[in-house]
Structure 1
Amino acid sequence: MAVLNLRTLAGGRLLRGSQPFGLDAAATSDFLARHGIQAIMDLRSELERSMVPWLVPNGAGVPGGTEVPDGTEVPNGAGVPGGTEVPNGAGVPGGTEVPNGASVPASLAPNAGGEPAAVVRPAVELIHNPLDPNAVAGSLRAIETPQDLGNLYLTWIRARPEWVADALRPAAQGRRTLVHCSLGKDRTGVVSALALLAAGASEDDVVKDYTATTVNLPDMLQVMAETWRLHVPSTPAQYFSPELMVLQSPEAAIRHFLASFAREFGDARDFLREAGLTSVEVSALRD
């Protein structure tokens, strides 16, 4: 199996795709190395991740990776050595206490000269930045038209603008990043659309990228249905019917989203700055 619906955006710094269907640890390592991936931005909920986890060496932690400059923040709650979690975006100066009273590991403590030691980052950083569609916008079964689907996307970015900024931050900081959800269609499609707009792409370019998913949907839905039945045998087959609008990627849906986004938010670069990216990071998406 593989990461499906895979393609490259933003000059190669950003890749989009599905979850890693059926990849064991060896296949995962091969896939990541082959595509030069430095960060994985996982947009799935905890339940979704539990069914199809990433088997990344040191995936949830930081040990064994590449050193980064002193004072660099650990993004989006990446683990620190020993498995201790640091709150989202929190820096790790020497002596800082982290949740549950766990002290910062010795590798992060000040060195003999009193300066904080370098933070260690894994060769491939696995970042969890979840958005649960049902939790944010209610039942997906209410999606009946392309306009409903476009409005669903708007609901997500209205409620969680920082979620988009967090999803694009590694790529904006220069790391080759795979952004994905389950099918790599909706959550990934929204993030990809705003990345493309910020990079200067035209509306037609965004539409072409979004609708490219359509040809991949039959295979992905079959694999997704098998995955759910394996973990939740009672899952009705009709939940993965290609007739459901929420499982399609029609041009009208993304055009509705783009037109509504432009009316409500204006320029994508301004939106991303207000959502939390720096001006330098937003500009880097164009490079």
Structure 2
Amino acid sequence: MPLVNFRDSAVLSDPEGLRIRPGVLYRSAQPYPAADEAVVAQLRACDIRTVVDLRDPRETHPADWAAAEAAGIAVVAAPVNPATEALTAHMSTMTTAADLGEFYVLLAESAPEAVAAAVEAAARPGAVLLHCAAGKDRTGLLTALLLDLLDVPVERIVADYARTADALPQIFANLAERHRTALNRPGSSRVTGPDGRHLTIPAPLLEAPAEAMSVFLHRVRTHHGGAAAFLPACGVDAATLGAFRAKAAAPAPAV
């Protein structure tokens, strides 16, 4: 089955091609039920040579990307665990889209090694695919940081993030089948926290509200100086940032 929520982030974030080259940075949900010949063909058609898996190891299956790896596509694990004590505490009080944006900030701040690993993989030659489970939260914040690094306007980054709303019914249906939980029914969705307790997933996490990404980007810019300062603080060196910009930045217009 082809990847769900799959897209080139340049399409909505920079349709004029002024900031990011098309065909460089892709995003999607996790493969379902696992990568097969159709997924491999999808990746090859886009020259995707590296897949960055942002899921925690407890969310993965050995077969998920086996077919892609057998086809010579590199798969880089950069696990971001959203079930830490601080994050589950924030989740338990989340009620608004703004709360979700704050959650994204905490999520990014809590996983500097994963952020750095993802950016380093994104700087490799060829196109890169970022994904988590839904391709919304962890994928959304990493994609947003990379687009911000290229000076893509906030409203365009937000539009790319919000487009995931169109794919949520299929995403949640796939997740429900895979995990045997009713993730597509708000109020009945549950995750397990670090203390073993079951937590109901708050409504904003079952949506892709534009305000959440706006809040995330605002917080990153006002508290961390934007992606250009936040990523080095996570351990991304200048050479990696330069390599990503060289690969992904749109060429300057001829004069």
State the TM-score bracket (shorter-chain normalisation). Answer: 0.7 to 0.9
Residue 138, structure 1, aligned to residue 97, structure 2: no
* CA gap 1:272/1:222 in 2 versus in 1, 3 angstroms: same
8 Å contact from structure 1 (residues 144, 246) kept in 2: no
Name the CA shift for 1:254/1:3 in 2 (closer, same or farther; >3 Å): same
Q: Shift in Å at residue 141 of structure 1?
A: 4.5
Match of 2:156 among 173, 187, 205: 205
Q: State whether residues 5 and 27 of structure 2, in contact with CA within 8 Å, keep that contact through their aligned partners in structure 1.
A: yes
- Tell me the amino acid that sits aligned with residue 22 of structure 1: P
**Alignment partner, residue 149 of structure 1:** 100
Shift of the 34–274 alpha-carbon distance from structure 1 to 2, 3 Å rule, reads same
Q: Whole-Å Cα distance in 2 between the matches of residues 217 and 177 of structure 1?
A: 22
Cα distance in structure 1, aligned partners of 2:36 and 2:132: 19
What is the SS of the residue equivalent to 1:133?
coil
| 1:27 to 2:38 alignment | yes
What SS does the aligned partner of 1:157 have? helix
Alignment CA distance shift 1:235-1:8 (3 Å): closer
| 8 Å CA contact retained: 2:96, 2:204 | yes
d(CA) in 1 for partners of 2:127 and 2:30? 17
Q: Is the 8 A contact 2:175 2:183 kept in 1?
A: no
In 2 relative to 1, CA 236–277 (structure 1 residues): closer, same or farther, beyond 3 Å? closer
The answer to whether the 8 A contact 1:41-1:177 is kept is yes
Name the counterpart of 1:88: none
Call closer, same or farther: CA 1:58–1:8 in 2, change over 3 Å. Answer: closer
* Pairing of 1:153-172 with structure 2 (within 5 A): 153-172=104-123
Moved more, 214-223 or 131-140: 131-140
Residue identity matched to 2:146? A
Equivalent residue for 2:205, pick from 218, 232, 246: 246
Q: Structure 1 length normalisation: TM-score?
A: 0.69
Structure-2 residue corresponding to 1:93:
none
Aligned to 1:18: 29
1:129 aligns with 2:83: no
Unaligned runs of 5+ in 1: 60-121
Deviation at 1:23?
4.1
52 and 141 in structure 1: CA distance in 2 versus 1, 3 angstrom threshold: farther
Is the CA contact 1:43–1:188 (under 8 Å) kept in the aligned structure 2?
A: yes
Q: CA deviation at 1:57?
A: 5.3
Q: What residue is the counterpart of 1:46 in the other structure?
A: 57
TM-score of the superposed pair, with normalisation by structure 2: 0.78
Please give the alpha-carbon distance, in whole angstroms, between the structure 1 residues aligned to 2:158 and 2:59: 27
Question: For residues 29 and 223 of structure 1, what CA distance do their matches in structure 2 show?
Answer: 19
Structure 1 residue 161: deviation in Å?
2.4
3-state DSSP class of the match of 1:167?
Answer: helix
State the Cα deviation string for residues 92-118 of structure 1 (Å, max 9, x = none).
xxxxxxxxxxxxxxxxxxxxxxxxxxx
Matches within 5 A, 1:194-233: 194-229=145-180
DSSP-derived class of the 1:38 partner: strand
Q: Which residue of 1 aligns with 2:252?
A: none
* RMSD of Structure 2 on Structure 1 (CA): 2.6
Query: How far did 1:52 drift?
Result: 7.0
Identity %: 28
After TM superposition, give the deviation of residue 182 of structure 1 in Å: 0.4
1:183 to 134, 137, 141: 134
d(CA) in 2 for partners of 1:128, 1:164:
11
Q: Give a deviation string over 1:39-79, Cα, whole Å, max 9, x none.
A: 110011122112872223546xxxxxxxxxxxxxxxxxxxx
Higher relative contact order, structure no. (Cα contacts within 8 Å, ≥ 6 residues apart): 2
Matching residue of 2:48 = 37
Give the AA of the match of 2:100: L
SS at match of 2:5: coil
Tell me the secondary structure at the aligned position of residue 61 of structure 2: helix
Helix, strand or coil at the partner of 2:60: helix
Instruction: Quote the Cα distance in structure 2 between the aligned partners of 1:141 and 1:265.
Output: 25
1:160, CA displacement in angstroms? Answer: 1.9
Structure 1 position 6 matched with structure 2 position 6: yes
Structure 2 residue ranges without an equivalent (≥5): 10-19, 191-199, 250-255
